[in-house]
Structure 1
Amino acid sequence: MGGDDDIDGVRPEVAISWQRSRDVYRIDPFLAEAPNAVSDATHSLDQDTVFAELGFCAAAMAHELAKVGGVATIADANGRIVAAWGDRNTRTIASEGGLAPFFSWSESSVGTNSMGTALETRRAVMIRQSEHWLQAFHDWSCGAIAVRELVGGEPIAVLNISCWGSELPGSARKWLETSAARTQNVLRGRAHDSGNELLAVFAQARGRSTDPLVAVDTEGGVVIADDRASIILGVPGNAPAVDPVVRWAPQLPPFIHAARYATKRAAVDSGWTGSTQIFTRFTDEPTSIGIRPVFLHKNLIGHLISFGALAGEHFPQAETGGVLLGRSRRVVALREENRMVLLGTSEVAVAEAVGNEVWLLTDEGRLRAALSGLDKLETDLSDTGSFLRVHRQYLVNLSRIREVERREKGELVLIMDNAENTMVPVSRRNTRAVRGALNI
């Protein structure tokens, strides 16, 4: 398993995960235990809600788990275990290998495992004994399922059940799916509350302004737009979409990117407001938009956006693709432990997450970024006008894309213009953004 390409008879989801473990994350299959997780104490209200709901489900099953020598764990979106329940003896054995709170079980940390692999997919994942990438966990059978945001689809947390030296109970998958569905229903109720609050704020603002107005969620999905804003955005006018599953997608990529930039800014500064200019289909001149974040119980739920308005921080935008233009920027890379390389953004083709490290494909070769964490690099480069997140593991320089390949099932693969013509996969949830950014 640990390096061979011959994987006949292996389930496809496991084989794909093995390939990621070997080729993307480069995990040593002979690691004896999971690594300590990077501390991450800040949680959104949705995260706390999910942890509480999943914790209730796990605690309710603790007695039954003890009967079969099982343990249940909850991990956050980064694979960091936050709590564990179940058989005391099994938990002791589990702790010796890091299957316990404060250890990381993302695929990028330990390779194929139920929690980390569940974060990479949208269904329950069952990993049996030798299917684990780490040989130290070949005595374990595990199953897990992730709970995801209704808006954006990003994972929030993952629920796991594990047994040592035996197979999982036959009811494990059903229990996982039921627990996740129950938790998703709680989130759906919160999302409806958020949608109704955005409708109320929209109605209040509509009475005070004559500018075209729209209320959007944190990902830029339209909850409601007045008649004039709806024409600009290409969505139905005055048609409320409280349910996040059916919210309208604006046919204007720069607008979506502006909303998502506002979400990042407001998440760290609750008093933030902003404005920018975007090009629409109806004029050769840019149109100003003003953005005001909306909160419910101190939790960011979306934005009110007015066309023709100016407010707060002004941030520039690109004419096409909706990616933020920005100031001159340097990307710092490490050639050796004591030697830094200062790269212009145009010299960086791709940034790739490998565990907690970020590796840059540059005109100088493959270099490790000084920043740790792809999310941090994405935020740092958000105003450069060039970079777009196309996959959980990849950030690409749009100006360095040479070709776009469309696979049989509609998947997109980007071929970069570096010497190796590096191929970068586009995840399904990012396909629309990539098409919009590249105008294809």
Structure 2
Amino acid sequence: MKDARRREPLGSVYAAWERFVQGEDQVLGVRPEVAISWHRCRERYRVDPNLTEAPIAVAEIEHTPEHDGVFAELGFRAAAVAQDVGFAGGVLTVTDSTGRILAEWGDQGTLARAAEANLAPWFCWSESAAGTNGMGMALETHGPVLVKGPEHWCKAFHDWTCAGVAVRDVVTREPIAVLNISCWRSRLPSFAGNWLSNAAVTTQAQLRRRARNSGAELVAAYTQARAGASTPLAAMDTAGKVVIADETASVLMGVPAATPALDPTVRWNPGLPELIGAAQYAATQAARNPDWVGSTQIFTNLSDEPTPIVIRPVFLSGHLIGNLVHFNATEPGPGMPSADRPAAIRPRRVVATRENRMVLLRLPEVAFAESDGNDVWLSTDQGRLRAASASLDRLGGELADVGFLRVHRSYVVNLSRVREVERGRGGELLLIMENGGDVPVSRRNAPAVRRALDI
């Protein structure tokens, strides 16, 4: 009787899985994070739920020395507990940011079983390749993940239980590697959850120390360039966050002046999507060609006319750590046309959660998004719903090309749902939305709002 009760929840998950793969959207009894992963697998990645083995990894990416250090650190930690995991009938894996398994440890019998599904080095376990699984979900999610039995998207993997956690770049927040434990028809070791979390936290603490050192080097490069500069200057990291800016550049970007932000967790978001995009594009180009210097034009907070900028990369021991941005500069450099930038996938829907259901919202149904602590909430025609995205920055970036605009540190609005614009005595703007909500506009975002609404 006890075994039957233990299997019952997974039985309801399997029933929901069957309905979902047939096209239904109701996923009662399924954890929201799993339901959202299923949605990505079905709608975005179109992974065959009848896939029986992971595909071979075809993407070759160049790993930086810093990334190699992360792989070595995770490998050392995995080897230290490999025997304990093996006794529990488990397999330990380390993957890179594409989901490609780099190494594995564990029980020989389970390793042989795993090989039948290509749970082995040089095969790819990203969600786009193998559906919902511990490694793939960890790449898509911040924090540890657990995938049990029929929560896996592919039926052939329903006998597995997986737990994984990604180690992320502390500046860009992009994944570097994943540490994962998988068990076949058995429970995970009791220490698995805490061990995975501690391994990720400890490794990222080391990355944070290095990032602070990189921030100090960026400030040093800025100070040296500032001595001979005749135009406004700022230093930005590879994610487009501001590390330091002079008095004029700080006004252009709406950030504090001449205040170094060495720690990546306290750097400033300039709130200028074109500038952030240009800095990220520049980082990509400079990583390929260290001699690259680029120029473009962006809109700032002081003018309705575009401002020319020149971007110069900064390196530390051959590793790109950020860029120096010269405003109102006329120095020639290769342009950065938007057509050369990687095309972003335009979302067709916004995913929200209600209790244990996944709600698929059409874009016109969403009036605005609001950050509240660690959560993002959507004001929609169906009421106030929690967004599946854990970051307003990420959600705003995904929706930037489909009629949404970041108007405040805490708000992203659907411009087509703005009904009125109210001006305060001090010139501040307040957006009155169709659904009756009021959204404040920050001073630094006001010019962009006026341009977008043509007022």
- TM-score bucket of the superposed structures, by smaller chain: 0.7 to 0.9
Structural mapping, 1:287-306, within 5 Å: 287-306=307-326
- Which residue of the partner structure matches residue 201 of structure 1? 221
Structural mapping, 1:40-439, within 5 Å: 40-315=60-335, 324-325=337-338, 380-382=340-342, 388=344, 405-406=367-368, 409-411=376-378, 428-433=392-397, 434=400, 435-436=405-406, 439=448
Q: By how many angstroms is 1:146 displaced?
A: 1.0
**Considering only aligned residues, what root-mean-square deviation do their CA atoms show, in Å?**
2.9
What is the rounded CA distance, in whole Å, between the counterparts of 2:259 and 2:100 in structure 1? 41
Give the partner amino acid of 1:187. Answer: L
Residue 204 to residue 235, structure 1, CA distance change in 2 (3 Å): same
Q: By how many angstroms is 1:139 displaced?
A: 2.0
What is the rounded CA distance, in whole Å, between the counterparts of 1:66 and 1:286 in structure 2? 61
Percent identical: 50
- For the 8 Å contact 1:223–1:247, the answer to whether it is kept is yes
Residue 130 to residue 305, structure 1, CA distance change in 2 (3 Å): same
Q: Which runs of 5+ in 2 are unaligned?
A: 1-16, 351-362, 371-375, 381-388, 408-414, 416-447, 450-455
What is the rounded CA distance, in whole Å, between the counterparts of 1:286 and 1:16 in structure 2? 39
- For the 8 Å contact 1:412–1:426, the answer to whether it is kept is no
Give the partner amino acid of 1:50. Answer: V
Give the partner amino acid of 1:406. Answer: F
Which has the higher mean CA deviation after the structures are superposed, 171-180 or 132-141?
A: 132-141
Q: By how many angstroms is 1:430 displaced?
A: 2.5
What is the rounded CA distance, in whole Å, between the counterparts of 2:35 and 2:366 in structure 1? 26
What is the rounded CA distance, in whole Å, between the counterparts of 1:429 and 1:391 in structure 2? 15
Give the partner amino acid of 2:238. Answer: T
Give the partner amino acid of 1:70. Answer: G
Q: By how many angstroms is 1:20 displaced?
A: 2.7
Residue 270 to residue 406, structure 1, CA distance change in 2 (3 Å): same
Q: By how many angstroms is 1:436 displaced?
A: 4.5
Q: Which runs of 5+ in 1 are unaligned?
A: 317-323, 327-379, 395-400, 414-424
State the secondary structure of the residue aligned to 2:140. coil
What is the rounded CA distance, in whole Å, between the counterparts of 1:18 and 1:238 in structure 2? 46
Q: By how many angstroms is 1:14 displaced?
A: 2.0
What is the rounded CA distance, in whole Å, between the counterparts of 1:41 and 1:314 in structure 2? 25
State the secondary structure of the residue aligned to 2:239. coil
Residue 225 to residue 21, structure 1, CA distance change in 2 (3 Å): same
- For the 8 Å contact 1:392–1:427, the answer to whether it is kept is no
- For the 8 Å contact 1:391–1:430, the answer to whether it is kept is no
Q: By how many angstroms is 1:68 displaced?
A: 1.3
State the secondary structure of the residue aligned to 1:245. helix
What is the rounded CA distance, in whole Å, between the counterparts of 2:258 and 2:157 in structure 1? 55
Q: Structure 1 length normalisation: TM-score? A: 0.75
Q: By how many angstroms is 1:50 displaced?
A: 1.7
What is the rounded CA distance, in whole Å, between the counterparts of 1:253 and 1:246 in structure 2? 19
Give the partner amino acid of 1:186. Answer: Q
Q: By how many angstroms is 1:256 displaced?
A: 1.9
State the secondary structure of the residue aligned to 2:377. coil
Q: By how many angstroms is 1:130 displaced?
A: 2.5
Q: By how many angstroms is 1:403 displaced?
A: 8.3
- For the 8 Å contact 2:254–2:301, the answer to whether it is kept is no
State the secondary structure of the residue aligned to 1:28. coil
State the secondary structure of the residue aligned to 1:166. coil
What is the rounded CA distance, in whole Å, between the counterparts of 2:37 and 2:364 in structure 1? 28
Residue 133 to residue 225, structure 1, CA distance change in 2 (3 Å): same
Residue 191 to residue 391, structure 1, CA distance change in 2 (3 Å): farther
Give the partner amino acid of 2:228. Answer: R
State the secondary structure of the residue aligned to 2:309. strand
What is the rounded CA distance, in whole Å, between the counterparts of 1:308 and 1:132 in structure 2? 53
Q: By how many angstroms is 1:10 displaced?
A: 2.3
- For the 8 Å contact 1:66–1:86, the answer to whether it is kept is yes
Give the partner amino acid of 1:143. Answer: A
Q: By how many angstroms is 1:220 displaced?
A: 1.6
Q: By how many angstroms is 1:212 displaced?
A: 1.5
- For the 8 Å contact 2:281–2:341, the answer to whether it is kept is no
- Which residue of the partner structure matches residue 345 of structure 1? none
What is the rounded CA distance, in whole Å, between the counterparts of 1:315 and 1:143 in structure 2? 45
Q: By how many angstroms is 1:33 displaced?
A: 1.0
What is the rounded CA distance, in whole Å, between the counterparts of 1:65 and 1:392 in structure 2? 42
Residue 258 to residue 412, structure 1, CA distance change in 2 (3 Å): farther
Which has the higher mean CA deviation after the structures are superposed, 14-23 or 119-128?
A: 14-23
What is the rounded CA distance, in whole Å, between the counterparts of 1:105 and 1:193 in structure 2? 33
- For the 8 Å contact 2:251–2:302, the answer to whether it is kept is no
1:32 aligns with 2:55: no
